[in-house]
């Protein structure tokens, strides 16, 4: 089967997913098939991938731990050019030491760029759902917590590649949040716990953006891929429309300067302009002209 959304969800019905789950509610698919993701990534593949980490190049590896903050120099060689610090290589033995002794999680960011099967899945998925795709790989020891409770502003598929992870999923304080709505000091106390699950090897969890979660490994180590994409939202389409409009309209390009701005006059002029242009030109051809810009390019991977 081609690696795409249908493959991610199988044997769950894709149409049922689109109708009742996408951007609506979490979904767990327990397959009872630990081999399901083998054509995407195995532990042998991961070993191969990590062997590139000693000379990092494009491979972006970080260590995270809910209870501790690390400096790059704790696990990587850092070179200084001018006053910019560049992480040039990973100290694998130091990283493994922190993983074992400190319960740190190793995260490979931007894995799409580095692993062809992931890249293939991402390209197919991006086309199907009009998203900018991204994938990070998490390698965690037993009884570890990578991040504290939080929500993400992009939809996620969690692909359990090895071992298991314990997920607590709470209600969403904001429905489908955009990035600026994601405050790390958000007060999550009092949120209702919706699901508590152990994701096993071969299982998948779909988590719409906004649902709060905290995650720990069980008494087993875990490897999972956090895969997903940033959707082309209606807000971003409207933003593109106004940006395009501004190219031919000096009123919209003018600075909002306090001492020049005389309140209602400008408000009314902008309002009238937007009303007129939206009615005339915000239509299907315009929307379709925006959508292809979201087709996947390698430089546009996201961090999760
Ligand atoms: Fe998350």
Residue ranges per structural domain of the chain? 5-231, 234-300
Query: Which residue, chain included where needed, has tokens 């940033």?
Result: 230
What predicted TM-score, i.e. pTM, was given to this entire model? 0.86
Euclidean distance between CA atoms 224 and 206, whole angstroms: 13
Euclidean distance between CA atoms 166 and 129, whole angstroms: 28
Q: Which among 78, 217, 62, 220 has a CA at the least distance from the CA of 136? A: 62
Cα 95 to the center of its chain, rounded Å: 24
Q: Kindly give the distance from the C-alpha atom of residue 125 to the centroid of ligand 1, in angstroms, as a whole number.
A: 20
List pLDDT tens digits, range 23-57.
Answer: 999 999 999 999 999 999 999 999 888 876 666 55
What pLDDT score does 93 carry? 86
Q: Kindly give the distance from the C-alpha atom of residue 274 to the centroid of ligand 1, in angstroms, as a whole number.
A: 37
What pLDDT score does 130 carry? 83
Collect all residues with Cβ–Cβ distance below 8 Å to 137 and sequence separation of at least 6.
41, 46, 49, 107, 108, 111, 161, 223, 224, 225, 226
**Are the C-beta atoms of 147 and 62 separated by less than 8 Å?**
no
Q: Kindly give the distance from the C-alpha atom of residue 277 to the centroid of ligand 1, in angstroms, as a whole number.
A: 39
Fold of 5-231: Jelly Rolls (2.60.120)
Q: Kindly give the distance from the C-alpha atom of residue 155 to the centroid of ligand 1, in angstroms, as a whole number.
A: 9
Q: Kindly give the distance from the C-alpha atom of residue 83 to the centroid of ligand 1, in angstroms, as a whole number.
A: 32
Q: Kindly give the distance from the C-alpha atom of residue 72 to the centroid of ligand 1, in angstroms, as a whole number.
A: 22
Q: Which residues, given as ranges, of the chain have pLDDT below 50?
A: 297-304
What pLDDT score does 57 carry? 57
What pLDDT score does 299 carry? 45
Q: Kindly give the distance from the C-alpha atom of residue 153 to the centroid of ligand 1, in angstroms, as a whole number.
A: 9
Q: Kindly give the distance from the C-alpha atom of residue 150 to the centroid of ligand 1, in angstroms, as a whole number.
A: 6
List pLDDT tens digits, range 18-29.
Answer: 999 999 999 999
Q: Kindly give the distance from the C-alpha atom of residue 151 to the centroid of ligand 1, in angstroms, as a whole number.
A: 6
Mean model confidence pLDDT for the chain = 87
Q: Kindly give the distance from the C-alpha atom of residue 167 to the centroid of ligand 1, in angstroms, as a whole number.
A: 11
Q: Kindly give the distance from the C-alpha atom of residue 149 to the centroid of ligand 1, in angstroms, as a whole number.
A: 8
What pLDDT score does 289 carry? 81
Q: Kindly give the distance from the C-alpha atom of residue 230 to the centroid of ligand 1, in angstroms, as a whole number.
A: 14
Q: Which among 244, 201, 243, 242 has a CA at the least distance from the CA of 221? A: 201
What pLDDT score does 298 carry? 44
**Are the C-beta atoms of 198 and 216 separated by less than 8 Å?**
no
Q: What are phi and psi of 51, to 5 degrees?
A: -65, -20
Q: Kindly give the distance from the C-alpha atom of residue 2 to the centroid of ligand 1, in angstroms, as a whole number.
A: 27
- Calculate the alpha carbon distances from 23 to 10, 20, 176 in Å: 19, 9, 7
List pLDDT tens digits, range 242-276.
Answer: 999 999 999 999 887 777 776 667 888 899 999 99
Collect all residues with Cβ–Cβ distance below 8 Å to 204 and sequence separation of at least 6.
8, 9, 28, 29, 31, 157, 158, 159, 160
Q: Kindly give the distance from the C-alpha atom of residue 211 to the centroid of ligand 1, in angstroms, as a whole number.
A: 9
How many C-beta neighbours within 10 Å does residue 237 have? 14
What pLDDT score does 293 carry? 54
Euclidean distance between CA atoms 304 and 301, whole angstroms: 10
């Amino acid at each position: 089967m081609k690696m795409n959304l249908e493959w991610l969800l199988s044997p769950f019905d894709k149409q049922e997913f689109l109708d009742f789950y996408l951007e609506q509610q979490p979904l767990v698919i327990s397959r009872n098939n630990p081999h399901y993701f083998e054509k995407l990534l195995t532990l042998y593949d991961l070993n191969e991938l990590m062997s590139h980490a000693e000379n990092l190049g494009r491979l972006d590896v970080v260590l995270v731990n809910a209870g501790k903050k690390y400096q790059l120099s704790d696990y990587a060689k850092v070179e200084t050019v001018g006053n910019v610090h560049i992480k040039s290589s990973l100290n694998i033995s130091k990283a493994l030491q922190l993983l074992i002794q400190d319960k740190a999680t190793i995260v490979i960011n931007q894995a799409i760029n580095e692993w062809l099967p992931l890249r293939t899945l991402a390209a197919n998925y991006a086309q199907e759902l009009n998203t900018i795709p991204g994938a990070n790989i998490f390698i965690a020891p037993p009884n570890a917590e990578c991040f504290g409770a939080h929500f993400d502003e992009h939809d996620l598929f969690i692909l359990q590649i090895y071992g298991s992870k314990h997920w607590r999923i709470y209600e969403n304080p904001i429905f489908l949040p955009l990035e600026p709505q994601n405050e790390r000091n958000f007060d999550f106390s009092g949120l209702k716990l919706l699901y508590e699950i152990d994701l096993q090897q071969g299982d998948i969890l779909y988590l719409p953006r906004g649902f709060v979660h905290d995650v720990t490994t069980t008494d087993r180590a875990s490897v999972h891929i956090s895969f997903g994409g940033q959707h082309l939202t209606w807000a971003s389409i409207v933003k593109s429309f106004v940006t395009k409009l501004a190219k031919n309209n000096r009123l919209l390009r003018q600075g909002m300067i306090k001492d020049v701005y005389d309140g209602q006059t400008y408000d009314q002029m902008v309002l009238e302009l937007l009303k007129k242009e939206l009615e005339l030109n915000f239509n299907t051809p315009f929307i379709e002209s925006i959508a292809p810009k979201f087709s996947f390019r390698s430089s546009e991977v996201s961090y999760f």
